[in-house]
């Protein structure tokens, strides 16, 4: 999930859209691929047409695009599928996690245990990400362990993509076969900019 942070990049002075923020092209190509794999090429074509993004959906992974376009695509997909944007983002997070594992296996080999891996995101993986993308605008994850087998992560990001983060976390836990329960509490009044995730082991009888 840390790796997801790679995707939210800022390009100062190069943005012409309202947010002033850009996103890595890979997010767009992955998003459209996920949609196509779940539906069809005609479905995605319809979403793109409905979203009316300036380049008509001609995204390349090596490019960089305004973050607002992602908002348009998400909205279009949600309308067409009837799914809530938050559900789409969570599911997209899970999809991304799998893609990251495929594309950047080196990031995932260092810590096999999921809590330890998640804990290391802010301190270790973000450093590695910055090596590759010096201008990446990353969220922060302040972590602490109330007990040895639980973890609290405080997500803070101006993008409000806590749902995407949740999807990534869930995929991480599922991928490792961890039985932990995930609790989520929004501390920013529903903006999704400051969210506390609490991972704890299942309750025993």
Partner 1 sequence: MTSEDEALWDRRLHREREARKAAEAVLEAKSRELYLSNEALRSLTSRLEGEVVERTRSLTQANTALQLLHTTSEVLATAEDPLQAAKQVLSQACTLLEWDGAHYWQHHLPTATLQCAAGWAMNPAADASWLAARGTADLPAGEDLPGRVLSRRAAYHWQDTANSEHYPRLATAGVRSAIAVPVMAHGRCTGVLEFFSRYPRLTDLSLVNTLTEIGAKLGLFLERHTAAQELRLAKEQADAANHAKGRFLANMSHEIRTPMNGIIGMTELTLDTNLDREQREYLDIVLKSAEALLVILNDILDFSKIDAGKLELETVAFTPVTLAEEALRPFQLRAKQKGLRLLLNTDPGIPPLLLGDPGRLRQVLLNLLSNGLKFTERGEVRLRISMAQATPFHQRLQFQVCDTGAGIPREKLASIFEAFQQADASFTRLHGGTGLGLTICQRLVRLMGGELTVESTLGQGSTFAFSVNFELPPQISPPAKAMAQDQAPAEATGRQRRMRVLIAEDSEVNQVLALAMLDSLGHEAVVAADGEAALRALARGTFDAVLMDVQMPVLSGLEATRQFREMEAGSGSRLPIIAMTANAMQGDREACLEAGMDGYLAKPIRRQQLAEALDAADAKTFPLPGPLTTGMARVLPSIPALTLDTTAGTTTGIDLAKALAMMDGKTRYLARMVQGGLEALPRGLAEAKHHLAASDWGALEHTAHALKGSLAALVAKPAAGSARALEEAARRNERTAAIAALAALETQTRALLPALEEALRPNGLACESQPGAPTAPEG
Q: Which residues here bind partner 1, judged by CB under 8 A? A: 41-42, 45, 48-49, 55-64
Q: Least distance in Å: CB of 12 to partner 1?
A: 16
Q: Least distance in Å: CB of 127 to partner 1?
A: 22
Q: Least distance in Å: CB of 159 to partner 1?
A: 23
DSSP string of 63-124, one letter each residue? SEEEHHHHHHHHHHHHHHH---HHHHHHHHHHHHHHHHHHH-HHHHHS--SHHHHHHHIIII
Q: Least distance in Å: CB of 14 to partner 1?
A: 11
CB closer to partner 1 out of 62 and 132: 62
Contacts of 117 (CB under 8 A, 6+ apart): 108, 110, 111, 172, 176
CB closer to partner 1 out of 46 and 154: 46
CB 139, CB 157: distance < 8 Å: yes
CB closer to partner 1 out of 30 and 94: 30
CB closer to partner 1 out of 47 and 118: 47
Tokens of 43: 């479905």
């Amino acid at each position: 999930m840390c790796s997801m942070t790679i995707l939210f990049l800022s390009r100062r002075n190069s943005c012409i859209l309202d947010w002033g923020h850009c996103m890595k092209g890979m997010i767009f190509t992955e998003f459209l691929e996920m949609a196509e794999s779940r539906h069809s090429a005609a479905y995605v074509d319809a979403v793109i047409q409905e979203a009316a993004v300036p380049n008509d959906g001609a995204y390349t992974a090596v490019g960089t695009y305004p973050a607002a376009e992602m908002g348009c695509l998400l909205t279009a997909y949600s309308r067409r599928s009837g799914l809530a944007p938050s559900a789409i983002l969570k599911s997209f997070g899970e999809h991304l996690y799998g893609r990251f594992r495929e594309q950047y296996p080196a990031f995932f080999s260092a810590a096999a245990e999921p809590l330890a891996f998640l804990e290391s995101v802010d301190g270790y993986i973000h450093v590695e990400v910055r090596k590759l993308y010096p201008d990446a605008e990353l969220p922060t994850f302040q972590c602490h362990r109330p007990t040895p087998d639980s973890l609290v992560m405080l997500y803070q990001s101006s993008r409000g993509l806590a749902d995407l983060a949740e999807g990534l976390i869930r995929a991480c836990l599922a991928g490792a076969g961890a039985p932990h329960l995930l609790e989520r509490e929004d501390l920013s009044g529903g903006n999704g900019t400051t969210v506390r995730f609490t991972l704890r082991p299942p309750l025993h009888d």
